[in-house]
């Protein structure tokens, strides 16, 4: 980079996938200076299992570590754990830690993630109302998920739906509510989103389109009052799965530009060239336009690679179509691209099959795809999107046509 910033000492703030990926990419790219990663926990861990196997007690904390201890040692990454960064001093080349230490830092990478959103619903501060964003959240919630327990899950997006799936498998009686009739419609398309949401009913999760107006903790249970209802419903516990709030406090205190996220350029550099931001809190400005934040696992990983390239002064990896996955009720769902931009959709296979895929097309090109238990279809679709391969809808819909052949045009 030609910004005049020295790169001998890099401090990464936050041990999620974005922070760990940045550290790994720096070393892989030849960075030979001091590299520290500050994490509030014992070690960085993966978050997707928190609503699934970890919540169910099928895995422990060590099993969801993002990397084993030796990985950090081999790459000379100093893991500064059980502490947090309380202030940035980019003008002085340092960061302050909650334990009183000061770390020298020529460059700082903010991988601060976000916290679970808690809407301002009266009574939501009850000890019976949970969120699920961290290991501590999962540890607090798990004892409530016992056979016969009455659970209300508010929000039928990824976290809410996955939590409902885990809870019903543990024997809970689950009600899943969302103000939207068919969640994930924009990213999966109406047909697949409808099929996916209907999976809940087929697996003993009751779903309702509803909005919670208030909670009342009665000691023996918690009442949930829904909009338009004359009487409450009573539950043993509640999980709020209504999104996340990016952690931007450090950036704001340091005078960085913040607008519903930490504003960065396409290299993930903030308004101060000594500070970068990656992962959930980063919001890219591209050609003068602020883009929506991306909150998926792979997007955070790719942010780390781009930030490392910015620090090293090398070419960043080529952008690729966004991808995410979710697991519920024994089905694995993947999606790539932007289904909301599709002019037509075609189904490859049948919704009754063990696996199938839905492709979104526009002007003879694939712009998105989503699948149930068909990862190969989504991988092929991603190549079609990235390479702008022209396709014919009828051939794409025919399971007898090899997708690799379509890639060749």
d(CA 202, CA 132): 24
Cβ-Cβ contacts under 8 Å for 57 (sequence gap 6 or more): 142
d(CA 222, CA 28): 51
Q: Is the pLDDT of residue 4 over 60?
A: no
Task: Report the mean per-residue pLDDT for the chain.
Answer: 95
d(CA 352, CA 347): 12
Q: Is the pLDDT of residue 90 over 50?
A: yes
* Closest by Cα among 367, 329, 321, 370 to 348: 370
Alpha-carbon distances of 242 from 30, 184, 211, rounded to whole Å = 40, 13, 12
Structure confidence at residue 73 (pLDDT): 98
Torsion, Cα of 157, 372, 199, 242 (10° steps)? 0
Average pLDDT for residues 290-312, to the nearest whole number? 95
Determine how β-strand 282-286 pairs with β-strand 289-290: antiparallel
* Residue tagged 């208030």 (tokens): 214
Kindly write down the DSSP assignment for every residue of 220-245, as one continuous string: S-EEEEETT-SS-EEESEEEE-S-EE
Structure confidence at residue 405 (pLDDT): 87
Average pLDDT for residues 96-101, to the nearest whole number? 96
Are 82 and 10 in contact by the 8 Å Cβ rule? The answer is no
Cβ-Cβ contacts under 8 Å for 235 (sequence gap 6 or more): 128, 150, 151, 152, 175, 221, 222, 224
Average pLDDT for residues 110-118, to the nearest whole number? 96
pLDDT tens per residue across span 118-150: 999 999 999 999 999 999 999 999 999 999 999
Q: Is the pLDDT of residue 31 over 60?
A: yes
pLDDT tens per residue across span 348-363: 999 999 999 999 999 9
Structure confidence at residue 408 (pLDDT): 81
d(CA 362, CA 357): 17
Q: Do the domains 118-240 and 330-407 sit in the same CATH topology, yes or no?
A: no
Domain-wise residue ranges, the chain = 9-115+244-312, 118-240, 330-407
pLDDT tens per residue across span 38-80: 999 999 999 999 999 999 999 999 999 999 999 999 999 999 9
Cβ-Cβ contacts under 8 Å for 135 (sequence gap 6 or more): 41, 45, 50, 54, 61
pLDDT tens per residue across span 255-298: 999 999 999 999 999 999 999 999 999 999 999 999 999 889 99
* Residue tagged 């500050």 (tokens): 38
Q: What is the Rg, in whole angstroms, of the alpha carbon atoms belonging to the chain? A: 23
Structure confidence at residue 2 (pLDDT): 38
d(CA 364, CA 366): 7
Structure confidence at residue 407 (pLDDT): 86
Distance between first and last Cα of the chain: 39
Topology adopted by domain 330-407:
Enolase-like; domain 1 (3.30.390)
User: How buried is residue 331: exposed, middle or buried, by Cβ count under 10 Å (0-12/13-18/19+)?
Assistant: middle
Q: Is the pLDDT of residue 1 over 60?
A: no
Give the three-class secondary structure for 288: coil
Determine how β-strand 150-154 pairs with β-strand 262-264: unpaired
CATH of domain 9-115+244-312: 3.50.50.60
User: How buried is residue 165: exposed, middle or buried, by Cβ count under 10 Å (0-12/13-18/19+)?
Assistant: buried
pLDDT tens per residue across span 206-259: 999 999 999 999 989 999 999 999 999 999 999 999 999 999 999 999 999 999
Give the three-class secondary structure for 171: coil
pLDDT tens per residue across span 147-203: 999 999 999 999 999 999 999 999 999 999 999 999 999 999 999 999 999 999 999
Q: Is the pLDDT of residue 7 over 90?
A: no
Average pLDDT for residues 28-46, to the nearest whole number? 97
Three-class SS string for 372-390? Answer: ECCHHHHHHHHHHHHHCCE
Structure confidence at residue 3 (pLDDT): 58
CATH of 118-240, one of 3.30.720.200, 1.10.240.10, 3.40.190.10, 3.50.50.60: 3.50.50.60
């Amino acid at each position: 980079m030609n910004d005049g910033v020295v790169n001998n000492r890099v401090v990464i703030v936050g041990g999620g996938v974005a922070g760990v990926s940045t550290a790994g990419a720096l070393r892989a790219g030849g960075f030979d200076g001091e590299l520290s990663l500050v994490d509030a926990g014992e070690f960085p861990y993966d978050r997707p299992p928190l609503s699934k196997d970890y919540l169910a007690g099928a895995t422990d904390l060590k099993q969801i570590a993002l990397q084993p201890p030796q990985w950090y040692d081999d790459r000379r990454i100093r893991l500064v754990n059980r502490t947090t960064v309380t202030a940035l001093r980019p003008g002085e080349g340092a960061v302050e830690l909650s334990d009183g230490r000061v770390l020298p830092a020529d460059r700082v990478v903010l991988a601060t993630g976000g916290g679970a959103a808690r809407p301002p619903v009266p009574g939501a501060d009850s000890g019976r109302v949970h969120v699920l964003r961290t290991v501590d959240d999962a540890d607090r919630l798990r004892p409530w998920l016992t056979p016969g327990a009455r659970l209300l899950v508010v929000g039928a997006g990824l976290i809410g739906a996955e939590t409902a799936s885990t809870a019903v498998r543990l024997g809970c009686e689950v009600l899943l509510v969302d103000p939207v009739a068919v969640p994930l419609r924009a990213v999966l398309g109406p047909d697949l989103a409808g099929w996916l949401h209907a999976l809940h009913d087929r697996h003993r999760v009751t779903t309702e389109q509803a909005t919670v107006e208030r909670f009342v903790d009665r000691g023996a249970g918690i009442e949930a009052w829904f909009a338009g209802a004359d009487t409450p419903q009573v539950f043993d516990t509640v999980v709020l799965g209504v999104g996340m709030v990016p952690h931007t406090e450090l950036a704001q205190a340091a005078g960085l530009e913040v607008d519903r996220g930490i504003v960065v350029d396409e290299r993930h550099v903030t308004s101060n060239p000594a500070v970068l931001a990656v992962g959930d809190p980063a919001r890219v400005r591209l050609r003068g336009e602020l883009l929506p934040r991306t909150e998926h696992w792979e997007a955070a990983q790719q942010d780390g690679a781009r930030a490392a390239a910015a620090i090293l002064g090398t070419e960043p990896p080529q952008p690729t179509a966004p991808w995410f996955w979710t697991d519920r009720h024994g089905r694995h769902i993947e999606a790539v691209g932007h289904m909301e931009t599709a002019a037509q959709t075609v189904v490859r296979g049948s919704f009754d099959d063990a696996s199938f895929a839905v492709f979104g097309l526009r002007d003879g090109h694939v712009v998105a795809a989503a699948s149930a238990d068909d990862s190969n279809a989504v991988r092929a679709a991603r190549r079609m999107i990235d390479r702008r391969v022209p396709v014919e809808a009828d051939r794409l819909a025919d399971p007898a046509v090899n997708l690799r052949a379509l890639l060749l045009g």
